[in-house]
Structure formats: structure tokens, C-alpha cells
Amino acid sequence: MSGEERFKKSNRGGRRPSDSGRSARDGGRKPRRRSRGLFGNPALYIVFVLCVSALLAALGWIGANDVLALNKKELTAVVEIGESDSLGTVATKLKKAGIIEFRGLFLFYGAVSHADSKISEGSYELNTDMDYRAIVTAMGSRSASRMTVSVTIPEGYTIKQTFELLEEKGVNDYQDLMDTAANHDFDYDFLKDLPLGDATRLEGYLFPDTYEFYLGESPENAINRLLKNFSKKFDEDLSAQVGDTGYSKHQIVIIASLIEKEAANDEERAKIASVIYNRLRSSSYPYLQIDATVQYALPERKEQLTEEDLKIDSPYNTYLYQGLPAGPIANPGLASIKAALKPASTSYYFYILGKDGVHHFFKTYQEFVNYKNSLSNG
């Protein structure tokens, strides 16, 4: 068989190549042309790029307004930063107060600028004229924007009354102050022998005075201000006089606290001090029998003590236990401390508050009883 015949046989019943090509062109579906799409059209692509650029520029400008405090509505707000607040919490508070608009943007700035190490707890007066840098600076420990409050702590206030006042004025939380007083080891010689664990270990050493506190000030700093003032007022000159009394510095503070709670005026302090010392050294009257110590032992102060109150089993009950109470019963002022160091020289063992608002002093029990009866009969 010739080659031509083999070729014809192999193509018998089939399509010729040329026929197949025609069928695809004439009878088959034409192939699709690929769409050039948005990015295949140069004009549309340019428009898209311009729109995105404009959008990014607009967003960038809005963000820049927030970062740089440009064209922002005037607003002033107080923002309180707590000790446990993170940078994220701070950013949330700033946005909620209206000081910033973009929390995420502030977080980014804060991370880059290490803002978390610059922000201190406290209450701050901030405004929308401040850019991000100024906001962070304003929330620092030495910032002029940190809000302060003047607090006058009266002489004779107990530690509980003092901390309640500080909470009322917004300095810090009462319980946080009590916990810190009990457990923080403040570095003062006069506290070194007072064990941790009980807030009343600081009783007597929170010096009554007028202070300028930061709102939201840390409990350690707030308490330290009072202790530092005590250390300053009970100076080397007064400390040198402690040895002349025969008592320790802590015992002098206890005596001063008794004087503070008992005295009606400055003129009485030295006389009341003399009665305390006379009784401490007496075998005939070894009990101080001071009502204020019983009041300190009670859960709540009473207008008038009952016979049952005088029997309460407490180391502060000077009707039941001889000598000084277990500790100071209040925070004395300087006048009472000086009276404790230099009592008047008397033979008095008794005193009682008269209807004239001052105390009257007596050498004997009978004199005391006679005057007391005269008050009842009058």
C-alpha cells in the first residue's frame, strides 16, 4: 500500500484538519476576550489612585488634627488616673472625656513615646488645646495640671477620722489608706519597733496640720507627708527632752494623745499632764481613769459612758488596767507634745469638766467628789 493510500485510510470517516479548523471558526463558540478590568484601564486606575490618596490624606489630616490639637472643639475635663490603669485604660478615659478622638492613634503614640512610664496616678485637668505630647506631660507626677486639694486635719483626730477626711476630700480611698498604714514599711526611726499588720501602729504620728494633697495621690505618699511632718515637728530639741521624763518617745506620744483628747484649752494641757504623771508614779492612784481611752476602745464614740462601758476588757481601758494604754488614742498637736515633755509641777490627782467649759483640778478624792456633787445639785 502506497503512502497516499495509507493516509486516506487513516483519515477515513474522520475530519480533515482543514475541516476541523473551519468548524471551530464557523460552527463553534468564539473564545472570550479577557476583560482588562479597573487596573487594565489607565484612566480608571489613575482616578482610583487619586481617590485613595485623597482619602488617605483626609484621614491623615483628621488624625493630625487629633495628634496636634488642631481645629478641635474647646473642652476642659478632669481625668482621674488610677494606680492600676494601663495605657489602654488611660486612652479609653481620655476618649470618653472628649480630650482625644482616636484611641488607637493615642495608643500608637503612647507606645512609641513610652508614655506609660511618664503617666502617674492622680486627677488632672486637661483640655483639647493640648496635643498628645502635652497630654502625656500633663499627666506626670510634677504636672501643673495635676489637681490639688487643701486639707486641714484637726488636732486630736484618730487615724480613722484622718483617713475618712482624706477620702472625703478625694485624696485616696479610706481602705487603701488603712491597708497601707498597716503594711507599708515607712522608713522612720520612731516606727521601727512598731510591728506591721495593724493600721493603728501609726496612731499618734499622723501630725495634724494643713496640707496640700494631690487628688488621687498614692496612699504611700499621702501618709508619708503626715509622718514626715511629725518627724520635722518632733525635732532634735524635743527629742533631747524625752530622756528627762523617764519615758520613751512612744510613751510620750501616748501621753500627748491623752492630753490632746482631754484638754479644753492650751492653758490646761500642762496641768492635765501633771495629773497623768502624778498617777503614773502613785501607788494610791495607779489607774489613770481617763474616759477618752475607753471611748477609743469602743466601736463608736458615745456621748456618755455607762458603767458597763467602763468594764470593757481592753488594753486601752485605763479604768481596768494600770499605767498607760496600749498605744496613742489620737494624733496630738505640738502643744500637747510639749506639755507631755514639760508637765506642770502640781499635787493634783483629779480633774473634772465644769459647767463653765473648763477643767477644775483637785488634790484629794474628797475635794473631787464634793465638786462633782455640786455640779449634780446645781
For residue 103, the domain's CATH number is 3.30.1490.480
Q: How confident is the model at residue 33 (pLDDT cuts 50, 70, 90)?
A: low
Q: What number of other Cβ atoms are within 10 A of residue 154's Cβ? A: 13
- Which residues are within 8 A (CB) of 300 and not within 5 positions of it... i.e. 6 or more apart? none
Between CA 250 and CA 240 the distance in angstroms is 14
Q: Which domain holds residue 132?
A: 62-138
**The one-letter amino acid at 150:** S
Residue 225 sits in the same domain as residue 281: no
Given a cut of 90, is residue 17 above it in pLDDT?
Answer: no
In a domain, 49, yes or no: no
Asked whether the beta carbons of 176 and 83 are under 8 A apart, the reply is no
Structural domains of the chain, count = 3
Task: Pick the last residue of a domain from 233, 263, 288.
Answer: 233
Q: Quick one: pLDDT at residue 25?
A: 47
What integer is the mean pLDDT of 208-220? 94
In a domain, 37, yes or no: no
Q: Quick one: pLDDT at residue 69?
A: 80
CA angle, residues 83, 84, 86, in degrees to nearest 5: 115
In a domain, 10, yes or no: no
Residues in the chain: 378
Q: Quick one: pLDDT at residue 70?
A: 79
Between CA 320 and CA 289 the distance in angstroms is 8
Given a cut of 60, is residue 3 above it in pLDDT?
Answer: no
Q: Which residue has the higher pLDDT, 251 or 64?
A: 251
User: Cell 482625644 maps to which residue?
Assistant: 100
Q: How confident is the model at residue 237 (pLDDT cuts 50, 70, 90)?
A: very high
Distance of CA 154 to the CA centre of its chain: 21
Between CA 61 and CA 373 the distance in angstroms is 87
In a domain, 78, yes or no: yes
Mean pLDDT across the chain: 87
Q: Which residue has the higher pLDDT, 83 or 27?
A: 83
Residue 258 sits in the same domain as residue 340: yes
In a domain, 85, yes or no: yes
Asked whether the beta carbons of 296 and 158 are under 8 A apart, the reply is yes
Helices (H), 196-306: 219-233, 236-245, 249-262, 266-280, 291-297
Report which of 146, 120, 336 is spatially closest to residue 233, judged by C-alpha positions.
336
Residue 208 sits in the same domain as residue 154: yes
Percent of the chain topping pLDDT 70: 83
Q: Which residue has the higher pLDDT, 155 or 47?
A: 155
Q: How confident is the model at residue 51 (pLDDT cuts 50, 70, 90)?
A: low
Task: Pick the last residue of a domain from 118, 138, 158.
Answer: 138
DSSP annotation of 264: S
Asked whether the beta carbons of 107 and 95 are under 8 A apart, the reply is no
Strand 350-353 to 122-127 pairing: unpaired
The helix (run of H) or strand (run of E) holding residue 164 is helix 159-168
Given a cut of 80, is residue 209 above it in pLDDT?
Answer: yes
Given a cut of 90, is residue 303 above it in pLDDT?
Answer: no
